[in-house]
Structure 1
Amino acid sequence: MSDDDHSHHHEPHRSQNSGWLRAAVLGANDGLISTSSLMLGMAAAQAHPSTILLSGLAGLVAGALSMAAGEYVSVSSQVDAEHADMRIESRALREHPELELEELTDIYIQRGLTPELAHEVAVQLTAHDDLGTHLRDEVGINDTHRARPIQAGLASAAAFTVGALPPVLLGWLWRAPGLAVVMVASSLLLLAVLGYVAERIAGGGGWRGAVRVLLWGTLAQAGTALIGWVFRVSVV
């Protein structure tokens, strides 16, 4: 193999997509399932079409803001923990540099290096970036997976909105009878597509992801439809 082949060799890894894929799939599935189930429950209760549409719009706005707030708060807590670990490691490096070097050496020994090589690697990496090295190899914090609250909140809200839009648009545009049946069929089809695509991106076959999402989506829609059918509350 030539030097040029070595310089251009790159292996794509699926796990690098795990962060954004989880948030996107969770947000889109949540938006589609919760909004379509809410509107389906209102349709089963024989509510007026405008009321069904209004419930979908309210569910979209409330869900998107809830996802944004929840993701922002949870990721902010992760940031607080990361900053606390950074302060701990920074103080330890100032007060006990020898012990920190030994700790780093032990980490590399446990990963398979000989004691001599582990010590040399620890010395060189500490000289290059002591705090960054300890955060990465001791604590598990690196720039690639660093928590970003605002970005996470906006991404979750956007994903939820994308998932919630199809049933809302259907409730707005559909004027013929059978809205509930069409909403169930279209929502389950979209859920199957989302589950399939998500598993394919993650490196799987796709069908298990589609079945998982279909199962939970069906249960959610069945539950809300049953509530609407039992109470038959027509809101004007």
Structure 2
Amino acid sequence: MAHHERHLLHRSGWLRAAVLGANDGIISTASLLMGVAAAGANHQALLMTGIAGLVAGALSMAAGEYVSVSSQTDIEQADLAREAEELQTNPDSELRELTAIYTQRGLSPALAAQVAQALSEHDSLAAHARDELGLHDMNQAQPLQAALASAFAFSSGAALPLITAWLAPHAQAQSWFTVSTLPFLALLGIVAADTGGASRWKSVSRVVLWGALAMAATALIGHWFGVTPV
């Protein structure tokens, strides 16, 4: 009977961008709205602030992810090109280098040399990319995927406190933000933990704690610098 294992590493690229985007969308938008509400803004100003925060944040997250992951891709491609050149100009040295890597991982020198030779004959660049540079197809950087996942996740997260701002009685907006946002963050932590195979408790406690601190800080700033709307 065939043995199948379910690994989750292939999700690391988009999962990181999605969790970061949703977490930032909820926390930054809720905190922004909390601070503006604490400063005494009216209901219309509160909604316009939330919409502006959603649009600006989603575009900023997408641009940041695309630029960041593109830079990572450029580095990976440069390393691969350098490795391909070395394999062309000095294949014996590269073979010894690969052998040394396998020896350090626990193979006997003779077996390491045999494995290095066999893998080099099959696809030397792939062997060096995987075992020397640590590059794998499953965690290869994908800029567009990361940008889209981040923008969509941020918008989804930011929509939650924005809907709360729309539905909440204006006088009770801050309380509504607190009561609604923390469960949203807890749910995000559970989803992230289940998708990535991590501990629910650790994931939930991280996002809830930092979310609560962010909202408390912006609410305090709003009270300090509060203005009476004209």
TM-score by length of 1: 0.91
User: Structure 1 CA distance, aligned partners of 2:72 and 2:147?
Assistant: 13
Q: Counterpart in 1 of 2:15?
A: 21
Matched, 1:143 2:137: yes
User: Structure 1 CA distance, aligned partners of 2:228 and 2:148?
Assistant: 35
TM-superposed CA distance for 1:18, in Å, is 3.1
Of 102, 107, 110 in structure 2, the residue corresponding to residue 108 of structure 1 is 102
Moved more, 58-67 or 192-201: 192-201
Q: Counterpart in 1 of 2:227?
A: 233
* Paired amino acid for 2:176: V
Q: Counterpart in 2 of 1:57?
A: 51
Q: How many residues align?
A: 230
User: Structure 2 CA distance, aligned partners of 1:208 and 1:111?
Assistant: 32
Moved more, 197-206 or 153-162: 197-206
Q: Percent of aligned positions with the same letter in both sequences?
A: 54
TM-superposed CA distance for 1:66, in Å, is 0.9
TM-superposed CA distance for 1:86, in Å, is 1.1
Query: In 2 relative to 1, CA 176–15 (structure 1 residues): closer, same or farther, beyond 3 Å?
Result: same
User: Structure 1 CA distance, aligned partners of 2:181 and 2:112?
Assistant: 55
* Paired amino acid for 2:17: A
TM-superposed CA distance for 1:228, in Å, is 1.4
* Paired amino acid for 1:143: D
User: Structure 2 CA distance, aligned partners of 1:26 and 1:65?
Assistant: 14
The residue matched to 1:233 in structure 2 has which SS? coil
TM-score by length of 2: 0.93
Query: In 2 relative to 1, CA 197–16 (structure 1 residues): closer, same or farther, beyond 3 Å?
Result: same
TM-superposed CA distance for 1:102, in Å, is 0.8
1:35-58 CA-partner distances (Å, limit 9, x unpaired):
011011111112111100110111
Work out whether residues 51 and 235 of structure 1, in 8 Å CA contact, stay in contact via their aligned partners in 2: no
User: Structure 2 CA distance, aligned partners of 1:37 and 1:234?
Assistant: 20
Of 136, 155, 163 in structure 2, the residue corresponding to residue 161 of structure 1 is 155
TM-superposed CA distance for 1:16, in Å, is 4.1
The residue matched to 1:178 in structure 2 has which SS? helix
Q: Return 5+ residue gaps in structure 2 as ranges.
A: none
Work out whether residues 17 and 65 of structure 2, in 8 Å CA contact, stay in contact via their aligned partners in 1: no
Q: Give RMSD over aligned pairs.
A: 1.6
Q: Counterpart in 2 of 1:127?
A: 121
TM-superposed CA distance for 1:222, in Å, is 0.7
1:22-74 CA-partner distances (Å, limit 9, x unpaired):
22221111100000110111111121111001101111111111111111111
Of 52, 66, 72 in structure 2, the residue corresponding to residue 72 of structure 1 is 66
Q: Return 5+ residue gaps in structure 1 as ranges.
A: none
User: Structure 2 CA distance, aligned partners of 1:71 and 1:168?
Assistant: 23
* Paired amino acid for 2:187: V
Work out whether residues 92 and 100 of structure 1, in 8 Å CA contact, stay in contact via their aligned partners in 2: yes
User: Structure 1 CA distance, aligned partners of 2:186 and 2:92?
Assistant: 56
Moved more, 25-34 or 138-147: 138-147
User: Structure 2 CA distance, aligned partners of 1:213 and 1:83?
Assistant: 34
Work out whether residues 13 and 146 of structure 2, in 8 Å CA contact, stay in contact via their aligned partners in 1: no
Q: Counterpart in 2 of 1:30?
A: 24
Query: In 2 relative to 1, CA 87–235 (structure 1 residues): closer, same or farther, beyond 3 Å?
Result: farther
* Paired amino acid for 2:163: L
